[in-house]
Structure 1
Amino acid sequence: MALISGVALSLLAGSALPADAAAGMRFYSTGGWFMGGMNVPVRRHRATTVKREKSEPRKETGFGEMPKGPLQLVVSINTQKVTLFSNGVRVAQGPVSTGVPGHPTPMGVFSVIEKDRYHHSNIYSGAPMPYMQRITWSGVALHEGVLPGHPASHGCIRMSHDFAKKLWPITKLGVRVIVARDELTPTEFAHAKLFVPRSKPAEPQTAMNAATEGAAQPTANLADATIEHPDRVLSDAVKPSSTVDPPKPLVPGYKATDQPVKPAGHVAVFVSRKEKQVFVRQGFVPLFELPVAIDDPDQPLGTHVFTAMAETEDGTGMRWNLMTVPTDPSVSVEHRHSRGRSNEPPKPVVHWKPPSTAAQALDRIHLPQQAVDRISELLVPGSSLVVSDEGLGRETGRGTEFIVLTR
C-alpha cells in the first residue's frame, strides 16, 4: 500500500510540476516512471491470458437483403454494365469490360456452367482469373479483372473485385446469364401456354397377358423420343477444370429411358424454329426432344427467355417473367436487274421481317401434349423456356444448358 501511495503521490506531484519538469517525466517498461533524479518503480503484474471466444467466420453481406427467388444476370455491351436481378427485382449493378472488336464477347442466352474461385487461364499463359464463372466451354467467363472503362478483354466479361466477390457466394450452376447490346429488364408475363406445375402420376401398372408370358408392356410415350444431338462437339481450346464433373459423353441415338445419368434440378426447355424441335434438359442432362409445329414457319419468332419465378399461393400455377433478347431482323433479298443496264449486277431488294412478340411467338408454337405433361411434372422455380429462331449452336454440349447465340 505504501508503494502504491508513493506512486500516486509522485504522479500527483508530477501533475503539479512546471511544464519543463513534467516534460522530463518518462515511462520505461522495465524501470517504471523516471522523473528528474527520482526513479519510481512500478509494480509488476503477472501476465494473464484473456480467454476469447472463437470468432465466427464473418458472413458475406454481399448485396444486402435480396428478394428470394431465381437469380438472373444481364450484361450490356453498350453500357459496359452487369446487372443482377433476384426474383425479377434489380438488386445490384456494376461495371464490366467486355471483348474488344477483334475478340468480341458473344451475345445471347447463357448460364453459369462452371465456377472456380482461384482459376487460371488455360489459354493466356495461366493468367489469374479470380471468382471465375464460366458460361461457355470455349473460354468465355465472368471473372475479376482490370476495368479500364471500355472493352478490353479477349471475350471474357471482367468485373470489379468488389462485385465479383459479392456475386461469387450467391450464384449456383445454372444461373441465367444474358449478354445483349443494351440493358434488359425482366417483366412479369403470363400466357396460357406457359407451363404450370403438375404432380407426377402414380407408377403405371404393367399389363400382363399370356402371349407375352408376363413381360411388361411399355406405356410411356416419351420412351420413343430419341435424342439425336446428345453430345455436341466441344472446343479443345478450354477444358473444364476439376471443380465440375460434367456428365460423361452419351451414346448418340439413345432413348430417353436409356439415359445413363440421373438428372436433377430445374428443367430447361428450348424451342427452335430453325430445327422445328423442342429440346428438354434437366440439370444439364438431355431428357428428350420432339418435333414441334409452328404456324407461319417462315416468320421469325424472335428470342424470348421465360423464367419460372415461384408457384402461386394455391400451388396450381407458376409466376413467370420475360426477357426478350433483341436480334438482327431477318432479311430476305430479291435480286432485280436494272432496266437498260443488263451488264450491271442485279440490285438487291431487302424485305425486313420483324420478329414476333413473346405472346405472338407462344401462340404460334404447338408442343406435343406428352411433352407439355412431362415438363409440367418437372417444373420448379428457376426452370426456363427459351424460344428462338436459332438452332442448337456449337456451344451447346455436355455440361451446359441451351446456349443461344444472337450474334
Structure 2
Amino acid sequence: MRRFLLLALLGLPSCTLFHPAPPPKASHVMYEWDDDKGPGDISVEIDLSSQIATYKRGGRTIGWSFVSTGKEGHSTTPGNYRVSEMMEVKLSNLYGWITDPAGNVSNGDAQPTTPVPEGHTYHPSPMHYWMRLTSYGVGMHAGEIPRPGEAASHGCIRLPKDFVPTLYQVVKVGTPVKVIKTGVPKAELPPRPVASGSSPEHAPSHPRSDQRDQASTVERQARQVQ
C-alpha cells in the first residue's frame, strides 16, 4: 500500500472535523489508493459531512481521499450522478480571478460579469482532470483542499492534486458518483483499500493502532484550543 504525505510527517488517520482550529494540513494523509485492477467497474461515494470520497471497484474498497465540496452559499447537492464529460483541462465559465497590469491578483474571487478595471485582466479558473457530473457545471477536478474536512469550493468537488490523475485514468463516462450527507463527521477514515491478492473480508477496517494513538493526541490538542 502506498501512502502519500504532503510533508514528511505521519498522516492523521482520523477525519474528525476539528473546528475552528483543525490540525495543520501538512499533518494529513490526503489519500490512499490500491487498485487491484480486478473485475468490476469503478464507483465513487462522496460524503459531504466528512469531506471524504470512497472509491470502489466492483464493490471492493480500493481507496479514499479527502475532497473539498461547496461551501455555504455554494453547497454541493446530494444525489446520484454519473460522469458525463471528461477533459484534462477545462476553463470555468463561472469563476476566475483578475490580475492588475503587473500580474498581481487584484480580485481572487471574480466571475465573468465582474467589472474589470482598465488595464486589468480576467482569467477563467482552469479545472484540471475535469469530470462533469451535472449540466449546470458541477464536477470533480483537481483543486486546493486548504483545510481537510471542511468545504471550500463553489460547488464542485475538489480532489487532491497529486491523486486526481490516478483517478482520472480509471474513471470513464458513465462512472456512478453518489453524493451523500451523513450529518456528522466520521470518527475514522474508510476501510483501508484491499491489497492486491487479498480478499475484502480480510482487509483491515481501521487505521493502525500507532496511527490512532497519534490521531488521539492531535484530537486532544485540537479540543484544548476550542
When normalised by structure 2's length, the TM-score is 0.52
Per-residue CA deviation, residues 107-135 of structure 1 (Å, 9 max, x unaligned), is: 00000000010111111131011011000
- 8 Å CA contact 2:35–2:63 kept in 1: the answer is no
Residue aligned with 1:132, SS: strand
Corresponding residue for residue 226 of structure 1: none
- 1:101, distance to aligned residue in structure 2 (A): 1.5
For residues 73 and 163 of structure 1, what CA distance do their matches in structure 2 show?
A: 14
Which residue of 86, 89, 94 corresponds with 1:118?
89
Q: CA deviation at 1:63?
A: 3.8
What corresponds to 2:221 in structure 1? none
Q: 1:94 aligns with which of 54, 58, 65?
A: 65
* Deviation for aligned residue 1:64: 3.9
CA distance in 1 between counterparts of 2:35 and 2:176 reads: 21
* Residue pair 1:67, 1:89 contacting (<8 A) in 2 also: no
| 1:73 and 2:44 aligned | yes
Instruction: Tell me the distance in 2 between the aligned counterparts of 1:103 and 1:133.
Output: 19
Query: Distance in 2 between the 1:118 and 1:172 partners?
Result: 16
Q: How many Å apart are 1:141 and its aligned residue?
A: 0.4
CA distance in structure 2 between the partners assigned to 1:116 and 1:82 by the alignment: 20
Larger relative contact order (C-alpha < 8 A, sep ≥ 6)? Answer: 2
Amino acid at match of 2:87: D
**Where do 1:43-58 residues align within 5 Å?**
none
d(CA) in 2 for partners of 1:67 and 1:177?
20
Superposed displacement of residue 67, structure 1: 2.5
Q: 2:125 aligns with which of 127, 136, 157?
A: 127
- C-alpha separation between the residues in 1 aligned to 2:71 and 2:78? 13
CA distance in 2, matches of 1:102, 1:159: 20
Give the count of matched residue pairs.
123
2:9 maps to what in 1? none
| Bigger CA radius of gyration | 1
Alignment of 1:147 with 2:145, yes or no, is yes
Instruction: Give the drift of 1:171.
Output: 1.0
Distance 1:129 1:146 in 2: 11
Give the CA deviation at 1:165. 1.0
**Does 1:105 pair with 2:103?**
no
Q: Which residue of 2 aligns with 1:314?
A: none
Q: Read off the aligned partner of 1:140 and give its amino acid letter.
A: V
Q: Secondary structure at the match of 1:103?
A: coil
Q: Which runs of 4+ in 1 moved over 3 A?
A: none
SS of residue in 2 equivalent to 1:169:
helix
RMSD in angstroms over aligned alpha carbons? Answer: 1.6
CA-CA distance at 1:163 after TM superposition = 2.2
After superposition, the Cα gap between the structure-2 partners of 1:130 and 1:63, relative to the gap in structure 1 and judged at 3 Å, is farther
Measured in 2, the distance between the counterparts of 1:93 and 1:103 equals 24
Aligned AA (1:102): G
TM-score normalised by the chain length of structure 1 = 0.29
CA distance in 2 between counterparts of 1:119 and 1:70 reads 25
Distance 1:176 1:121 in 2: 23
Following the alignment from structure 1 to structure 2, what is the Cα–Cα distance between the partners of residues 141 and 94? 16
Aligned partner letter, 2:158: R
Are 2:171 and 1:171 equivalent residues in the alignment? yes
Instruction: Quote the Cα distance in structure 2 between the aligned partners of 1:139 and 1:63.
Output: 30
In the alignment, is the contact (CA less than 8 A) between 1:113 and 1:173 conserved in 2? Answer: yes
- Correspondence 1:156 to 2:156: yes
**Which runs of no fewer than 5 residues in structure 2 stay unpaired?**
1-32, 97-123, 191-226
State the percentage of identical aligned residues.
33
2:56 to 85, 90, 110: 85
CA distance in 2, matches of 1:104, 1:112: 19
